[in-house]
């Protein structure tokens, strides 16, 4: 039992150190040596637990996403008593775009993961499960092939948008434009009616404007 507890503590120490370094230096400029020194663990243990820096990037990204989704869910329950699933997802899109606009360190970390195609791996399980649930809820008639195709197409597109949003050449493109387009394209891929898409765009914007969520130093979500 003590061995497992020690292993968990080591993993937590590595994760904590990595999160600080990824926030302060970025994913690209953080080395395994940096993580080893910061966490006071040897490099072999980092490789053993996470299969290297890429594995850590996926774990940190998933942890941040989970924290953000929990905060979004709390706010949704506060402002909307009976939000339907696609409306909740549209609000999630708005929050992630907003964070990338307002927190440059978060935007850099996510952009670096997108550049290395790590986000496709990090989001695969959640993205596919989400599409399957939407397909059943709204009777969209999605096949397994449809779900896989839509997930990979949309994730690739989102990675491109993340890189564009981090690029100074496109800094004048508004948060609202990017969020609206992400929601619109996602719903179009699923085959939703244009009038219904317009309805979700308006409702999600109105509800999101009542949110109060921030992402602070070391990716702490408040």
Domain around 199: 81-219
pLDDT of 124? 67
Q: How far apart are CA 38 and CA 40, in angstroms?
A: 6
For residues 83 and 206, the answer to whether their CB atoms sit within 8 Å is no
CA dist 190 to 123, 178, 195, Å?
18, 19, 14
- Per-residue pLDDT tens for 43-72? 999 999 999 999 999 999 999 999 999 999
Kindly state whether residue 43 falls inside one of the protein's structural domains. Answer: no
Q: How far apart are CA 45 and CA 149, in angstroms?
A: 36
* Position 115 confidence tier, pLDDT thresholds 50, 70, 90: very high
pLDDT of 4? 47
How many other β-carbons are positioned within 10 Å of the β-carbon of residue 80?
A: 17
β-bridge mates for residue 221, sequence order = 215
For residues 68 and 96, the answer to whether their CB atoms sit within 8 Å is yes
What percentage of the chain has pLDDT greater than the value 90?
Answer: 88
Kindly state whether residue 179 falls inside one of the protein's structural domains. Answer: yes
* Position 82 confidence tier, pLDDT thresholds 50, 70, 90: confident
* Helix 194-208, helix 85-102: angle, nearest 10: 50
Kindly state whether residue 158 falls inside one of the protein's structural domains. Answer: yes
This prediction's pTM: 0.91
β-bridge mates for residue 215, sequence order = 221
- Per-residue pLDDT tens for 181-212? 999 999 999 999 999 999 999 999 999 999 99
Considering the chain, what is the average pLDDT of its residues?
Answer: 93
User: Taking the alpha carbons of 198, 145, 51, 111 in that order, is the dihedral positive or negative?
Assistant: negative
Kindly state whether residue 119 falls inside one of the protein's structural domains. Answer: yes
Q: pLDDT at residue 116 above 60?
A: yes
Rounded average pLDDT over 80-104: 95
Kindly state whether residue 75 falls inside one of the protein's structural domains. Answer: no
Kindly state whether residue 36 falls inside one of the protein's structural domains. Answer: no
User: Would you give the distance in Å from CA 71 to the centre of its chain?
Assistant: 13
| DSSP-derived 3-state class of residue 80 | coil
Q: pLDDT at residue 39 above 70?
A: yes
Domain count within the chain: 1
CA dist 158 to 14, 35, 120, 140, 191, Å?
29, 29, 10, 22, 18
Rounded average pLDDT over 150-155: 92
| DSSP-derived 3-state class of residue 123 | coil
């Amino acid at each position: 039992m003590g061995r497992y507890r020690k292993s968990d503590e080591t993993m937590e120490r590595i994760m904590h150190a990595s999160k600080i370094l990824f926030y302060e230096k970025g994913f690209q400029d953080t080395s395994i040596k940096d993580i080893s020194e910061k966490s006071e663990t040897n490099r072999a243990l980092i490789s053993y637990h996470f299969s290297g820096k890429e594995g850590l990037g996926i774990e940190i990204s998933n942890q941040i996403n989970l924290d953000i989704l929990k905060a979004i869910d709390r706010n949704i329950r506060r402002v909307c008593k009976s939000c339907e699933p696609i409306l909740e997802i549209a609000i999630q899109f708005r929050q992630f775009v907003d964070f990338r606009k307002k927190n440059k360190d978060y935007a850099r970390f996510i952009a670096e993961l997108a550049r290395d195609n790590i986000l496709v791996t990090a989001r695969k399980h959640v993205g596919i499960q989400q599409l399957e649930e939407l397909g059943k809820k709204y009777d969209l008639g999605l096949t397994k092939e449809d779900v896989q195709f839509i997930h990979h197409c949309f994730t690739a597109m989102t990675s491109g948008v993340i890189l564009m949003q981090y690029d100074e050449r496109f800094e004048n493109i508004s948060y609202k434009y990017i969020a609206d387009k992400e929601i619109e394209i996602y719903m179009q891929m699923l085959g939703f009616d244009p009038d219904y898409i317009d309805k979700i765009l308006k409702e999600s914007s109105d509800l999101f404007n009542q949110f109060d969520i921030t992402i602070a130093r070391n990716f702490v979500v408040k």
